Homo-oligomer: A and B are copies of this chain.
């Protein structure tokens, strides 16, 4: 890799990838940057520029063969093999995530679930046994899990995240509202905070009144 691909480009690839998968599921065989762009509200030029960072995947006059482009994106995103994931915190949200059947078909297998509560440890979510948070480091190391979804109460978020780093986790999807402070070269952080997203909306909704 000569110059690193801009992160903003990388952030759009999963969107292209999933839209192409939907098109394929609907029986479509080829598409164009124009069609994809209209579906996503993005300019055709942007899609072509983004893809051109990684190679030449299309054909003039025809556009893109969906199955081929999906395969290419799968490799680029390292989704040509599946990933094991740990869920930390088996409360309302952690349970919903662990029950959700939409991750596995996309290549994310929930392998480990942890909690502190003695009422939960040892019980099952589906066929997953809830493990003691004290076993976090050895279990994650042993299983070689690299990705965690953090669904503990806000007050515990930073401490648990620090443990995750010690356990060798490389990616954390943070569902708490705490902005985590972690070494940036070691862990890839992504924040999913519905309150921020709602406040982003209320800025505009309020204005229109």
* Interface set of A (CB-CB < 8 Å, partner B): 1, 10-11, 13-15, 17-19, 22, 39-41, 76-79, 83, 85, 92-93, 95-97, 99-100, 102-103, 106, 108, 146-147, 149, 154, 170-171, 173, 177-179, 181, 184, 188, 190, 192-208
Contact = CB atoms under 8 A, between A and B. Distances in A.
B205 A146 contact: yes
Number of identical monomers bound together in the oligomeric complex: 2
Contacts of A15: 179, 196
B192 A14 contact: no
Nearest to A17: B199
B200 A10 contact: yes
Chain A contact surface mostly: helix
A78 B205 CA distance: 8
Contact of A197 (B39, B76, B83, B192): B192
B41 A184 contact: yes
B96 A92 contact: yes
A14 B199 contact: yes
A188 B173 contact: no
Nearest to A206: B78
A51 to B, nearest CB: 14
